Amino acid sequence: MNEVRAEVRLPTEHLSNDLPFYTDTLGMRLDMIYPADDPQVAVLSGHGLRIRIEKGASEPPGTLRILCDQPDIFAKGARELMAPNGTKIEIDELNPPMVTPKTEHSFIVRRLADQAPWVIGRAGMSYRDLIPSRLGGAMIASHIRVPDGPVPDMVHFHKVGFQLIFCISGWVDVLYEDQGDVRRLHAGDCFIQPPTIRHRVLHAADGIEVIEIGVPADHVTEVDHEMTLPTPNLRLDREWDGQRFVHSLAKDGRFIPFRVPGFEARDTTINENTKGVACVKVARPTGEKTVWTKHNGDILFNFVMSGELTLEGKNKEPHRLSPGDAFVIPPDMATRYSGPTDDLQLLEVNLPGNFETELL
């Protein structure tokens, strides 16, 4: 068996000054030192790191980041230290609290025809940003295309407050922690991925396109090297930070009157299963007269899945929207959805899940 170890080399001029700092202050373990009569090299390990401090090494001192569950009791509560050899030490929280920035409200229309750039993101997927401002960091909405075939994905999770995957076309297979075997998402279906639920995308086909919503916009994705999916236990009622996994099927949906007159909507049960964090619905026209409305929610995002409509806003130029277009309506702004075609399907995502709509 070939044993392999990796080391990070750091320079020093006075090794005798560095040893007590790295062992006593940082709690690392001395593994090797030589030569005995005049030490020039010391190897230490700790906190998942192995370092080689070498007298006269040519590398710059660099920076070590140490992450702790309780940083206030590590190194006497210091958050920044300077080692005798010049290496900067940054001490931070292992699991910092998630912070969602205050929403910067604005009226946004993002047209597919405007050629918003597609960029290659994680696991070879193509991403198109639907909200360039990200509402001040409060939310990210991405239009994602996945290449047909197996997806080079790993078991991972996201540190988020809310995350939605809504399938626009094609299908994709995904494994989720404690949710049984492979879940297939078809056009019109959606998943809610509760915070930190482990999952892995397996296979995509038929020109798969999805809309992914994440709150906040900047959130961490971590790979779980230990978990194997599927997990042995089926726990459909499990909650992650108060939210349950949702696999909403378009074929099982029931349409009821929408909050906006002239439309009806299919609920995805996400409002109920996130305990009001968010609500996701698919709206379509009923042929009745449309009216002006305004809402008092925080975030109201829409994506045109099929058909067309004209989005009118008070003191704004009207926008004729078609498939692939997205828009955000800020609170207290009067708008009207006029001239919808019979085949219009509108994906609406709002946070929080419960808010009021006023007819004007």
Per-residue model confidence as pLDDT tens digits over 82-107: 999 999 999 999 988 888 899 999 99
| pTM score of the predicted model | 0.88
Query: Would you state the pLDDT for residue 149?
Result: 83
* Encoded tokens for 201: 């995308």
Q: Is the peptide bond before 71 cis (omega within 30 degrees of 0)?
A: no
Residues 73/47, Cβ–Cβ less than 8 Å: no
Nearest residue to 12 via CA among 58, 49, 46: 58
What CATH number corresponds to the domain at position 350?
2.60.120.10
Give Cβ neighbours of residue 232 (< 8 Å, ≥ 6 apart): none
Phi, psi of 122 (to 5 degrees): -60, 140
CATH code (residue 74) = 3.10.180.10
Please check whether residue 120 lies inside any domain of the structure: yes
User: Which of 9, 105, 113 shows the shortest CA–CA distance to 58?
Assistant: 9
Q: Domain check: are 140 and 58 in the same one?
A: no
Cα separation, 24 vs 255, whole angstroms: 66
Q: Distance of alpha carbon 230 from its chain centroid, rounded?
A: 22
Q: pLDDT for 175-223, tens place per residue?
A: 999 999 999 999 999 999 999 999 999 999 878 899 999 999 999 999 9
**Is 104 contained in some domain?**
no
Residues 230 and 301 in one domain: no
3 state SS of 6: coil
State the Rg of the chain over Cα.
26
**Structural domain span for residue 242:** 116-249
Instruction: Please check whether residue 3 lies inside any domain of the structure.
Output: no
Say whether pLDDT at 36 is over 90: no
* Number of domains forming the structure of the chain: 3
268 and 332 belong to one structural domain: yes
**Are 121 and 202 part of one and the same domain?**
yes
Q: How confident is the model at residue 263 (pLDDT cuts 50, 70, 90)?
A: very high
Q: What is the pLDDT of residue 106?
A: 95
> What is the spatial distance between Cα 177 and Cα 139, in angstroms, rounded to a whole number?
25
> Does 147 map to a domain?
yes
| Whole-Å CA distances, 189 to 24, 98, 268, 298, 347 | 56, 28, 9, 25, 11
